[in-house]
Amino acid sequence: MRTARVLLAKVPKAQATEVIARLHREGRMDRSGRIIRDDRWVMVPVIAPVPGFETEEGIVPMKELRDPHQVIDALTEVPDELRHLLPRRWEFIGNIALIRLPTALDPYREHIGQVYSSALGASTVVRDVSGISGELRTPDMEVLFGHDTIGEKLENGIRYRLDVTKVMFSSGNIDERERMGHLDCTGETVVDMFAGIGYFSLPLAVHGHARRVIACEKNPDSYHHLMENIALTDVTDIVEPVLGDNRDLMLDAPADRVVMGYVCGTARFLEKGVSLVRPGGMIHFHDTFHSLGAREEAEEAIAQACGVRGHHAIGSRVVKSYAPGVDHVVVDFIVPG
């Protein structure tokens, strides 16, 4: 059985039924984890601390959600010949369920949203229409049921708050977010060139112990949630949000480390990234490359950006498959003086 470390609210057994119902209504429960009970206490997975109750991190079994087709007989409006198109996978951000629907199911989408909300216990059901697009990585979403599109994701002890209809959250990058938190950045100044809502900035500040993180973000919606998440995580003295194009970013002193967590064209920002880092500093360069020869493509782009300064690559890894024959790759390299 899969387990995960989550935030738990410690609720007296006598109050558990009432409190769990309230947390469910308010969208405060972390629905990915199981509730743990003993003779005195009920440990409820939550996405944020609950006023009036002690909260602590703990390891709990993860829910194995059932196929909704095994439990939902209420999908009476969907013809039998189309039922095989119904989504069998979903993602939760707080109490919001994200699903995909082919266009053949468009006439039934409101009915599907209502039924999936009931079956999955989601306050809101949102349809991912066509993924993310454009320079600002804007999602194309449609609300099928409910009204609240603000959700929170608790990951490795960090709360990410976002509007799922305006801002992307890539669950496929979870290992890389965790890796950033495992870096020893003690005393360092770090520039996060594509900060988003704080995907890498927050782990670097909280777990990597960076002295200063300059988090640059161009998308105003993402920047709004970046500031919100910095406050939620209580790192306002470490993370400095900057709204604007990172190519206009000016530093009072070179950074020790630069994170370039973007894809589909990050190479055109490499020269700026190199200019921001001190001699001997580290750059974490993300981009998409053909699965065959990805390392060679990345090395060529880095070499061109570094020019006569040269570089020393110390590692690369595939973050995830991005598309057929295309991988999201990160290369860590040092820029010498």
pLDDT digits (tens, 9 = 90+) for 211-234: 999 999 999 999 999 999 999 899
The amino acid sitting at 53 is: F
Split at pLDDT 50, 70, 90, the class of 80 is confident
Model confidence at 196: pLDDT above 80: yes
Q: Tell me what the pLDDT averaged over the chain comes to.
A: 85
d(CA 196, CA 191): 13
pTM: 0.76
Region for 287 from its dihedrals, namely left if φ exceeds 0, alpha if ψ lies in -120 to 50, beta otherwise: beta
CATH topology of domain 68-148: GMP Synthetase; Chain A, domain 3 (3.30.300)
Q: What pLDDT digit, counting tens, does each position of 285-307 carry?
A: 988 877 777 677 777 777 777 76
pLDDT, residue 238, reads 97
Burial readout 29-54 (b: 16 or more C-beta within 10 A, e: otherwise): bbbbbbbeeeeebbbbbbbbebeebe
> How many CA atoms are closer than 13 Å to the CA of 114, on its beta-carbon side?
9
Q: If we measure between CA atoms, which residue out of 290, 218, 203, 274 comes closest to residue 248?
A: 218
What CATH class is the domain 3-61? alpha beta
Asked whether the beta carbons of 22 and 46 are under 8 A apart, the reply is no
Strands 54-61 and 96-99: unpaired
pLDDT of residue 62: 73
Whole-number Å distance between alpha carbons of 112 and 143? 11
Encode pLDDT of 139-192 as tens digits.
888 999 988 899 888 787 788 999 999 998 877 678 888 888 889 999 999 999
Q: Is the pLDDT of residue 69 over 70?
A: no
Q: What is the pLDDT of residues 91-130, one digit of tens each?
A: 888 888 899 999 999 999 999 998 888 778 788 999 988 7
Secondary structure letter of residue 192 according to DSSP: E
Domain ranges for the chain: 3-61, 68-148, 170-335
Architecture of domain 170-335: 3-Layer(aba) Sandwich (3.40)
- The pLDDT tens digits for 9-61 are 999 988 887 788 778 767 778 877 788 888 888 899 888 888 889 988 888 87
pLDDT of residue 240 exceeding 70, the answer is yes
